[in-house]
Structure 1
Amino acid sequence: MTNITQKVRYWAAKFVKDEAGATSIEFVIVFPVFMLFFGMIYESGMVSARHVMLERGVDIAVRDVRIGVITDPTPDRLRARICEVALLIPNCDTQLKLDMVTRSLRDWTPIPTDVLCANRGDPAAPKVRYTNGGNNELVYLRVCARFDPVMPTTGLGKAIVENNSDSAAGGSFALIASSAFVVEPFRREEE
């Protein structure tokens, strides 16, 4: 029995003193954490870049309406202009919804707080609030775009999917950009 005990002690001491593979153990512990952080940084960078491009597209489209480049701003024309400028929006034609309402400058009524976004549960649902403004009217434009997370199973992407589990979102998240402008008085009223 003492011979077996001596052998066990010998192998245990040898195992404890052996440093081969120590780097691999550190790598196995640190690498997944590092990759999780990298994935979350990449996901948040993509969200930020897409939001900046959406804001830029809305600003340029509204500028084109204000200066008269887009003379009759229909939802299709505005969507096409926004999609032309905002290059980071995948499936822009189907994932972008416009909400355009007019308000009187003298008799203000609150703007609806609900935001119209693409309904992935019912893609044929044409929910659009669109009112083209007349001369000297304030027009408030809100644009909602739906995006899928780049990495939907880890980190920030997983949190986005879990927080948007209803059928309208379909595992996506919405980014909203808004702008307001006054229709210039040089425009002629439609007769």
Structure 2
Amino acid sequence: MIWRLLRSFARREDGYGTAEVALLFPAVLWPFMLAMETGFVQMRQVMMERAMDVVVRDLRLGAAHIDSAEALKQALCDEVLIMGGCMDDLMLEMMPVQVPDYSPPGGRVACVDRSEEFNPVTTYSPGANNEMMMLRFCLLHDPILPAVGLGKILPREAGGGFALTASTFFVNEPSS
């Protein structure tokens, strides 16, 4: 009796398209999901770099409202329009550069560790007039689709999220 039911089920042709769609739909949808995640990562990276350029322009000209690391973080987060939780996930380093014998700092840009309640203070030195400065940012970002495509293969930082980093050099303008 069971064999007869199985044979009649195997011979039926209604629902044939359902099986085909169920098997092929993920394979067809995967490239679109990968492209969407890639687009969002690129958009966030571009917005962070744009915000860094705007804030560094103010910083270079000696804006009075950017007088501490927290004020610099706040100014950057005000310019980055599409990042939620920016103040909590942003870490920065600002240090003077000795031009004749400069060598890049070793290692990666320091990022926030979400698993820790407090993160270590990084270098923040506003520098003097006409001094070359290096500024590096690291902003953690959570993928939109963490289990598919790019969100699955991007390297995670401690505590989750992947790092969007940016760095720049500028010279402090002389103040009057």
TM-score by length of 2: 0.84
* Alignment of 1:170 onto 2:164: no
Shift of 1:142: 0.5
Of residues 87-96 and 65-74 in structure 1, the stretch that sits farther from structure 2 once superposed is 65-74
State whether residues 57 and 82 of structure 1, in contact with CA within 8 Å, keep that contact through their aligned partners in structure 2: yes
5+ residue gaps in structure 2?
Answer: none
1:17-36 matched pairs, under 5 angstroms = 19-36=13-30
1:132-151 matched pairs, under 5 angstroms = 132-151=126-145
Letter matched to residue 57 of structure 2: R
Corresponding position of 1:4: none
State whether residues 62 and 172 of structure 2, in contact with CA within 8 Å, keep that contact through their aligned partners in structure 1: no
State whether residues 116 and 127 of structure 1, in contact with CA within 8 Å, keep that contact through their aligned partners in structure 2: no
Shift of 1:72: 4.8
The counterpart of 1:111, out of the listed 80, 83, 104, is: 104
The counterpart of 2:168, out of the listed 146, 160, 179, is: 179
Shift of 1:171: 2.6
User: Aligned partners of 1:64, 1:127: CA distance in 2, in Å?
Assistant: 23
Shift of 1:177: 0.9
User: Aligned partners of 2:82, 2:106: CA distance in 1, in Å?
Assistant: 26
The counterpart of 1:45, out of the listed 34, 39, 43, is: 39
State whether residues 136 and 184 of structure 1, in contact with CA within 8 Å, keep that contact through their aligned partners in structure 2: yes
Task: Please give the per-residue CA displacement for 1:88-145, whole angstroms capped at 9, x wherever unaligned.
Answer: 222111100011111133x332131321110122230233111111111101100000
5+ residue gaps in structure 1?
Answer: 1-7
* Alignment of 1:93 onto 2:87: yes
Larger Rg belongs to: 1
Letter matched to residue 129 of structure 2: N
State whether residues 50 and 89 of structure 1, in contact with CA within 8 Å, keep that contact through their aligned partners in structure 2: yes
1:115-130 matched pairs, under 5 angstroms = 115-130=109-124
- Residue-pair matches, total: 169
User: Aligned partners of 1:131, 1:111: CA distance in 2, in Å?
Assistant: 17
**Sequence identity of aligned pairs in percent?**
35
User: Aligned partners of 2:33, 2:159: CA distance in 1, in Å?
Assistant: 21
Shift of 1:19: 4.6
* Change beyond 3 A, Cα 1:143–1:151: same
- Misfit runs of 4+, over 3 Å: 68-73
State whether residues 152 and 158 of structure 1, in contact with CA within 8 Å, keep that contact through their aligned partners in structure 2: yes
User: Aligned partners of 1:63, 1:72: CA distance in 2, in Å?
Assistant: 11
**Once superposed, what is the RMSD of the aligned Cα atoms?**
2.2
